[in-house]
Amino acid sequence: MTKEALIHDLNKTIRSALSNYYLPGLAIGYKQEGQESVIMAEGYSSFPMKTPLTKDSIFHMASISKLFTACGIMILFSEKDISQDTCVVELLPDFKMLRSKNLSCDYPHITVRKILSHTSGLPDVTDYRWDLKNISESALEDYCKSDDVSKRTLLWSCDENKFSYSNIGYELLGLIIQKVSNLSFEDYMDSIFFKPLNMRDSTFKTYERTKNSSLSIEDLLSARVAAPHGKDHNNNIIYEKHFPYNRGHGPSSTLTSTLSDILIWSQSLLKKDPIFQRVYSFSPFLPVADVSNSDEKIGLSFFIWKDKGKTYIGHEGSDDGFRSSLWMCPDTKISVIVCSNLTKAPVKKINREIFTIIHNHLTP
């Protein structure tokens, strides 16, 4: 099959998805090692204003941020000769939670590896407080010392190796990065990934994209950032109340980027570029635990699933007004990123459909 035939089928898929799921905007990108990136965008960056979505539009990537945090801490640990089995309390002496009499292995025994694989027993964030638009330098440390962490207990003993997704864990990883690197979490990400890989449209400091750090939809749109949308009780597409940004949740959630930048990062990972050599020493794609109610397993931050003899690694992202889906196939060296500026858009389903189309076209 020709590349033109593949592009035709992908265009048909994206337009059908935009209509069938009634999305404000949808963008897909894919790249195979040695080939040019392909990026397509349909619909609107702002549905009420009918501002077109473009190939260069910037999306809130939500939990895809966790892959960057995970790889960042692996690189940092290899430089500092720190083990993934180091307990968090050794690196963050102020980290505290409530103890439970029923647990044989409580929070002081949580290791970095347990947090990376969501098997620590940590609970999840209760409220991201996007309405605060917190850009304080101390926001991350303040959150990690807040009642949402310190007044909680583990869901179960941290040695049970049971999966439970925890954004709290990734905020703790981000704070560890700050303490060990002596840089802010965001500056470390910039120095280790964005600058070396020439990812010019990527940042964890989304507020710096707007005048006076306003994070207003109008200012974000002028900076090419897609607006967050939801639906009302009549299924009308409307803006979400707040753009999902709070610096206290940077490590788990606040990366904003273009599809082209995400493809640069994911392909560099698949090619084992020098920057990622140290990540591979941690074996991040080996399954650690089963993911409940899913066909996937969890490695060190990377989710893993298999289909028709091929292995896929990646992560989903979901926040108010945005959904993102990044998956990579090491067997064929292909990355696929799908983003929509709508709460609960079915981007994971769309991503799998795209991979099926691409792999069908590659089959002789």
The CATH number linked to 74 is 3.40.710.10
User: What is the predicted pLDDT for the residue at 129?
Assistant: 97
Angle (nearest 5°) at CA 260 between 333 and 355: 40
Q: What confidence tens digit (pLDDT) does each residue in 270-295 have?
A: 999 999 999 999 999 999 999 999 99
Residue 362 pLDDT > 90: no
What distance in Å separates the CA atoms of residue 91 and residue 18, rounded to the nearest whole number? 46
User: What is the predicted pLDDT for the residue at 222?
Assistant: 97
Last residue of a domain, one of 164, 188, 212: 188
- C-alpha 288, offset from chain centre: 19
For residues 151 and 245, state if they share a domain: no
For residues 202 and 294, state if they share a domain: yes
Residue 50: give the domain boundaries: 3-63+198-362
Q: What confidence tens digit (pLDDT) does each residue in 193-203 have?
A: 999 999 999 99
The b-or-e profile of 275-288 (16+ CB within 10 A means b, else e) is: bbeebeebebbeeb
Alpha helices in 145-200, H assignment, sequence order: 147-150, 167-181, 185-189
User: What is the predicted pLDDT for the residue at 292?
Assistant: 92
What distance in Å separates the CA atoms of residue 242 and residue 229, rounded to the nearest whole number? 10
Q: What confidence tens digit (pLDDT) does each residue in 225-239 have?
A: 999 999 999 999 999
Type of residue at 110: I
Q: Which pLDDT band, with edges at 50, 70 and 90, does 60 fall under?
A: very high
For residues 107 and 161, state if they share a domain: yes
Q: Give DSSP secondary structure letters for 216-249.
A: -HHHHHHTTBPPPEEE-TT--EEE-SS----GGG
Those residues with Cβ within 8 angstroms of residue 241's Cβ, 6 or more apart along the chain or in another chain: 130, 131, 320
- Looking at every residue in the chain, the average pLDDT score rounds to 97
Q: Residues for the chain: how many in total?
A: 364
Sole residue written with tokens 């710096």: 208
Looking at the structure of the chain, the number of domains it has is: 2
- C-alpha 363, offset from chain centre: 30
Lookup: tokens for 265 = 């990062």
- C-alpha 235, offset from chain centre: 27
- Rounded to whole angstroms, what are the CA distances from 344 to 21, 229, 273, 347? 10, 10, 34, 8
Average pLDDT over residues 329-353: 98
Residue 121 pLDDT > 60: yes
For residues 166 and 292, state if they share a domain: no
What distance in Å separates the CA atoms of residue 219 and residue 246, rounded to the nearest whole number? 17
User: What is the predicted pLDDT for the residue at 1?
Assistant: 54
For residues 308 and 177, state if they share a domain: no
Average pLDDT over residues 169-192: 98
Last residue of a domain, one of 161, 188, 215: 188
Residue 254 pLDDT > 80: yes
User: What is the predicted pLDDT for the residue at 236?
Assistant: 98
The enclosing H or E element of 14 equals helix 3-20
Question: Is 206 inside a domain boundary?
Answer: yes
Nearest to 352 by CA among 338, 333, 364: 338
Q: Enter the pTM of the model.
A: 0.98
For residues 208 and 351, state if they share a domain: yes
Q: What confidence tens digit (pLDDT) does each residue in 123-150 have?
A: 999 999 999 999 999 999 999 999 999 9
Type of residue at 127: D
Residue 42 pLDDT > 70: yes
Residue 24 pLDDT > 80: yes
User: What is the predicted pLDDT for the residue at 184?
Assistant: 98
Average pLDDT over residues 340-363: 95
Question: Is 193 inside a domain boundary?
Answer: no
What SS3 class is residue 270?
A: helix
For residues 234 and 351, state if they share a domain: yes
227 dihedral zone (left: phi>0; alpha: psi -120 to 50; beta):
beta
User: What is the predicted pLDDT for the residue at 364?
Assistant: 64
Residue 101 pLDDT > 90: no
